[in-house]
Structure 1
Amino acid sequence: MHFSIPDTQELYSETTGTTYTSYNIYINGTFHACLRYKQLHALNEQLRRQLLPIGHVMPEFPPKKFLPLTNSQVESRRQSLEHYLQLLGQDARVSKLPIFQQFFLNAQLETALADGIFEEYFGYGTEDGDSSSNRVEEYMRCTCLEVILPNGYQLKVDSYVSDNATALLRKALTCVQLPADMMPYLCLFLVRRESKDSLVLLRKLMDFESPFVSRLYNQPCQIQIRKSYWNPAYDLVLMKNPIACNLLFMQTISEIEREWIIASPEVLKKLKSLQEYGMHKEYIDMARQLPLYGCLQFQASVVDYPEPETTALIAIGNKELSMRTMQQDKILETKFRVTRMRVWRVTALHNTQQTDSKEKTSNLQLSFEYLMSKQNLRWITISSPQAMLMSVCLQEMVNELLNYKDNNKEPAAPTPTGSSSQQTTCSSSSSTSSFTYPTPTSSSSCSSSFTPHANPNSYVQSYNDPILGGDEESASPCDNNSTEAPIKFLAQRILSKQNPRISKQHSYGAVFFRNSMLSREDSVQNEAFEGIGDDDL
């Protein structure tokens, strides 16, 4: 998780008639939530109660102040909170905790409510009631989300507004009758169709966000099911199941048609023949031998290699970052192996001139230090709106490589984190092509149910906790006997938005650390970086 806090807002509380400072939280380069200092302080206290008994050292949290903050103190606190969240986000032991992900899921929901997102979509808002019980009822309200398969086939999935990515994925896969043990190999992406044959990957949906809210913030876009892994050995696992094999087959066809996978005319002819005869496994086996199979393709970017201001097409996969450039009417491809990237960083230059937080734009750059030859390291920079997604892909690839080594080169399926199971119903339709499930029935609608493992009303607890006593600057103690931090989110509509603490003419770079090992530097080490000798170069 990459955190940044580019600016603050001075908000007006209709309840108390006073103003307070709130911080705009960006996660993975996208606006996520607007939080007060005391809410982040309560999160810190909750994490400390859970992690300190097991010996985990928490990063230092910015101290409370008893007097009102000056402009310079607000700016100093913003920088300290940003650094604190960056350290937490890059510590897997913290960022994967359910309480951590649930906190930011709740924060996104409350910010969306305060921004009037729900009122625009459903026709209700905070003026209909500010009580915790009313808000919980709205978040537990059922809605129908469209989830598309790789071939454009649409599933209409009944879900809750508060469902995270794993919960929605589970319900969507239940609709296609895919066994639960196949779920770790798939994930949800936000995608945008810019033309009939052009598909842009916006980002991978995570468990700290609501797909419903994230989709509304990024309109126009769709939610698509895609495979979640980088090691092609996992293909063999999916191909053992007919439904999973069909999903993999559809994604492979889609990527070949969009020329994300490069194939010669002769190979395309053979693949077409296999497709017509319904030979899915044979089709996938042939496609797996082609260049760029298993890679994610990105929009045209500007790079400084081999020369500054060079336009390139970026692809990531197969343990490398591929860069295709045009030179003297020839297409040249340069491959950068992920194991030779010593460090990398993402820099975001936020445009603070926009007053609407969710519409603020960022100029993103991905820079990595690459081992060109022994004792010869060079920084290479990619400027792209998708730089954050590139960084996330590199991180996932490295994690998968390390996991592969830790398991003695035996693939181990990733373990997703998610909420408890609940009853699922869905219907499906297609505007582009038909899809027949390899099951006894093939109707255009489906429904299924499975036993819940937790009371759905357990979600209510986080909204019924008492608020921290006093001002956001007061030093009221917390109840040390409680296992849950008393966190309360925004409960009223935001009536006024402005940015008095930071000059609107000012933009700055926020460096996102991939882990906390080298927090003293502007970049971090790649744990999969290999010591390479002259014979290997």
Structure 2
Amino acid sequence: MHFSIPYTSEIADETGKFVAFNIHVNGAAHCAVRYSQLAQLNDEIRRQFGSDDLKEFPPKKIKFLKLGAEELEERREKLEKWIQSVSQVQKIVKSSLFQAFFLSAQQEAAQLEAEEVTLDIYLCNGNKETLPVLSTDQSEDILEAFCRKIKLPDKLIYYFGLFLMNVHEDGTEELVRKVQDFESPYISLKDLAGDHRIVLRTWYWDPRYDDDLMENSIAVKLLYVQALHDVELGWFRASKQELKQLSALKAKKSKREYLQLLRSIGHYSFIQMLPCTADFPLANIPGIVSLGPHQLILEVKTKTGETKEFNFQVTRMRCWKVVTCGSRMELSFDYLFSKEKLKWVKIQASQAIFMSVCLQGIVDELLMKRDGTKFKEPSDRVRVTRTLHIKKREVLSTTEMPEMPEIPEMPDTPESSPAAERRENGKSASVAEAEERDDNDDDDDGEKETEETIEGDHMDNDDPESGRRRKERPSRSSSSSERAVSPSHPAQPARKASTGSRSKLKDKAQHLKDKVQSAFHSSTKSSSTDEPKMINLEELTMIQENEVFDKDIGDDDL
């Protein structure tokens, strides 16, 4: 997750005026909280979990002494580093303490009391189901309610996730981000402009997890609807013959056979992003990024007109980070091209933060496999209970961060890009909405009703048979700086030192830390910096030591 505090606001409520720190999560404004609220959260976190992995919390000032502009900015920066360090510790993020705080803070910032409302949950084919919910229900409540309504077994619910999607006026679909566990989807949608919606998709990367879903007819239909949608968008590298076979299986309503064939085609279980610009293998080269099982694939168009793919294995990324400047966002990762040869690869993209979230999801799945754990079930999740009195607020003023030089503009992506070429070479084969029922299913009456819900007979469809297309979109404007945060690592034991030498050791350690930080970020201009997301290469490489990848990157590609 990407936490930042890009600016402060002066707010007035029934208790008087105060300064609020505006917290953004994964590029979106989430809440505005007081220093005292964060101080209480810090005290409780340290009491329950200790403080070894956390940054220093900025100390309190003398009561009734108003902070100057420089002091307030210093406090904002320290609070930002503190919340980023907190978000790195998974046991804290998954705790009821953390989730209740940020769910309540979102509700308080939205000035919204808990009330009965309706919320539309969409499938990939545009069909939707309207759920009666509370305005403050968190995403896990919504996910479980939807899956149970369509009769998906509890053990399969968390194979799926809820995503925020923006459907542009021309029909282009943009996956913005995955909805967080401590987030209320209703509140998140409430103030968004344009056609934003909550969409259900699978949230795993290894296609072998499909086998678990193939045992259930409802799960098969969810996979099938998603597959039809992704094929229509041209996310798969299918030949004309393979597209013809897929169309024949679709006409026969052979869902399982359709999915089995699709698994043998390139880029299955990948999420394809909007067009971007990369500095690899050449500077400012247009491309397409896809993220899937254990890897990030960068597809570029060379000067000779040849389409070339570069496969970056996640287990060979030493770390990655996201930097935002003005309206530009950049994902960069330090890649192990060969033994003792690391090189930074930079990608400018409007979906840079979502790319980073996907990378973290891939790493989490690899670690889950290593540890032998399984997907959680509703009975395993943390239940958040909270009572909150909403105080009426009024924003009096906002203090923005000083403007910084922007990342250089990305050149326009020409229509000779990989995405445009796929549109011209048959990837636009018509895939109608999956609205028909499978005549060969042996489901009982209850299951038939659920199947009709998934495939469209009992659900509203806002855009039936509308042609979805992928084209370059301008970067989303953002006044904040969102950065990657790393997973938690055990704190190294401190060396014992005499009382007289502790101060010198501390100064020396801080000097070395500042030197490393400065060198690490010297190549990127940003309104602020953060520690990159680190990966333990030795641990993760062991997971895939027998894995064979389609293409490795050598010196010839540099």
Q: Distance in 2 between matches of 1:50 and 1:158?
A: 36
Of 21, 38, 41, which residue of structure 2 is paired with 1:40? Answer: 38
Match of 1:498 in 2: 398
User: Out of 386, 394, 417, which is 1:459 matched to?
Assistant: 386
Q: Following TM superposition, by how much is the alpha carbon of 1:382 offset from its aligned partner in structure 2, in angstroms?
A: 0.9
Match for residue 205 of structure 1? 179
Q: Does 1:177 align with 2:151?
A: yes
**In 1, Cα distance between the equivalents of 2:53 and 2:361?**
25
What is the RMSD of the two structures over their aligned residues, measured on CA atoms?
A: 2.6
CA distance in 1, matches of 2:93, 2:291: 24
Quote the residue 2:306 is aligned against.
330
Contact between 1:518 and 1:524, CA under 8 Å: does it hold in 2? no
1:100 pairs with 2:65: no
Alignment check: 8 A CA contact 1:343 1:525 kept? yes
Work out whether residues 10 and 395 of structure 2, in 8 Å CA contact, stay in contact via their aligned partners in 1. Answer: no
CA contact (8 A) 2:8 2:22 kept: yes
Aligned to 2:231: 256
Structure 2 residue aligned with 1:161: 135
Q: 3-state DSSP class of the match of 1:247?
A: helix
* Conserved? CA contact 1:342–1:371, under 8 Å: yes
Contact map agreement 1:2 1:90 (CA 8 A) in 2? no
Mapped partners of 1:374, 1:56: distance in 2: 33
> Which amino acid is the alignment partner of residue 331 of structure 1?
T
1:412 paired residue number: 374
2:277–2:348 Cα contact (<8 Å) kept: yes
Amino acid in the other structure paired with 1:283: Y
1:191 equivalent in alignment to 2:165: yes
In the alignment, which residue of structure 2 is the partner of 1:293?
A: 268
CA–CA separation in structure 2 for the residues paired with 1:419 and 1:338: 30
Aligned residues: 430
- 1:20-57 superposed Cα distances (whole Å, 9 cap, x missing partner): 211111111211111110111111122223224xx966
SS at match of 1:497: strand
Question: 1:144/1:232 Cα in 2 relative to 1: closer, same or farther (>3 Å)?
Answer: same
Unaligned runs of 5+ in 1: 119-137, 352-361, 421-453, 465-489
**C-alpha distance in 2 between matches for 1:192 and 1:524:** 27
Aligned-partner residue type, residue 5 of structure 1: I
Q: Taking structure 1 as reference, are residues 510 and 199 closer, same or farther at Cα in structure 2, changes over 3 Å only?
A: closer
Question: For 1:49-77, what per-residue CA distance to the aligned partner results, in whole angstroms no more than 9, with x for missing partners?
Answer: 3224xx96654311111132121111111
- Aligned AA (1:514): S
CA contact (8 A) 1:167 1:419 kept: no
In the alignment, structure 1 residue 272 sits paired with structure 2 residue 241: no
**How much does 1:516 deviate?**
4.5
1:242 aligned onto 2:217: yes
2:25 paired residue number: 27
How many percent of aligned residue pairs carry the same amino acid?
33
Partner amino acid, structure 2, of 1:20: F
1:397-454 Cα shifts (integer Å, max 9, x gaps):
01111221222xxx7224577566xxxxxxxxxxxxxxxxxxxxxxxxxxxxxxxxx9
Residue 400 of structure 1 corresponds to which residue in structure 2?
A: 365
Against the structure 1 CA distance between its residues 97 and 288, is the aligned structure 2 distance closer, same or farther, given a 3 Å change threshold? same
Partner AA of 2:90 in structure 1 = A
How far did residue 373 of structure 1 move?
1.6
Kindly tell me: are residues 363 and 101 of structure 1, through their superposed partners in 2, closer, same or farther at Cα, counting changes over 3 Å? farther
Gaps of 5+ in 2: 406-478, 492-512, 518-530
Question: Conserved in 1, the CA contact under 8 Å of 2:95 and 2:382?
Answer: no
Match for residue 346 of structure 1 among 322, 325, 334: 322
Cα 1:29/1:190, change in 2 over 3 Å: same
TM-score (norm 1): 0.75
Contact 1:256 1:262 survives alignment (8 Å): no
Classify the secondary structure of the residue corresponding to 1:371. Answer: strand
- Residue type of the alignment partner of 2:392: Q
Query: The residue matched to 1:498 in structure 2 has which SS?
Result: strand
Cα separation, 1, equivalents of 2:186 and 2:533? 33
Does the Cα contact within 8 Å between 1:346 and 1:366 map onto a contact in 2? yes
2: CA distance, partners of 1:106 / 1:517: 28
Please say if residues 120 and 128 of structure 2, whose CA atoms lie closer than 8 Å, have aligned partners that are also in contact: yes
Q: 1:83 aligns with which of 81, 84, 107?
A: 81
Give 3-state SS (helix, strand or coil) of 2:290's partner.
Answer: strand
> In the TM superposition, what is the alpha-carbon distance from 1:527 to its structure 2 partner?
2.4
Q: What is the deviation of 1:6?
A: 1.1
CA distance in 2, matches of 1:400, 1:344: 17
How many angstroms apart in 1 are the aligned matches of 2:220 and 2:136?
Answer: 31
Distance 1:345 1:109 in 2: 30
User: SS of the counterpart of 1:6?
Assistant: strand
Distance 1:504 1:198 in 2: 31
**Aligned ranges for residues 293-332 of structure 1 at < 5 Å?**
293-327=268-302, 328-332=304-308
Tell me by how many angstroms 1:278 deviates. 1.6
CA contact (8 A) 2:487 2:533 kept: yes
Alignment pair present for 1:63 and 2:74: no
Aligned position for 1:12: 12
Whichever residue aligns with residue 103 of structure 1, its letter is F
| Structure-2-length-normalised TM-score | 0.72
CA distance in 2, matches of 1:261, 1:301: 18
Matches within 5 A, 1:438-453: none
CA distance in 1, matches of 2:56, 2:377: 30
- Structure 1 residue 196: Cα displacement: 6.7
Separation of aligned partners in 1, 2:20 and 2:169: 39
Alpha carbons of 1:247 and 1:43: their partners in 2 closer, same or farther (altered >3 Å)?
same
- In structure 2, the CA distance between the partners of 1:48 and 1:156, relative to structure 1 (3 Å rule), is same
Q: Which amino acid aligns with 1:144?
A: T
Output the amino acid matched with 2:22: N
CA 1:518–1:47: 2 relative to 1, 3 Å: closer
The question of whether the paired residues in 1 share the 8 Å contact of 2:276 and 2:347 is answered with yes
Q: Distance in 1 between matches of 2:107 and 2:480?
A: 28
Residues 108-151 of structure 1: CA deviation (Å, up to 9, x unaligned):
111111xxxx5xxxxxxxxxxxxxxxxxxx31x11111111122
CA 1:196/1:21 → structure 2, altered by over 3 Å: closer, same or farther? closer
CA 8–504 in structure 1, closer or farther in 2 if over 3 Å, else same: farther
- Matching residue's letter, 1:168: I
Contact 1:271 1:286 in 2 (8 A): yes
Q: 1:412 corresponds to which letter in structure 2?
A: K
Per the alignment, residue 369 of structure 1 pairs with 334
Q: How far does residue 324 in structure 1 lie from its aligned partner after superposition? A: 1.0
Deviations 1:334-385 (A, max 9, x none): 1111111111111122x4xxxxxxxxxx532111001112221110111112
CA drift of 1:509 comes to 5.4
What secondary structure does 2:59 align onto?
Answer: coil
Q: Give 1:503 deviation, angstroms.
A: 4.2
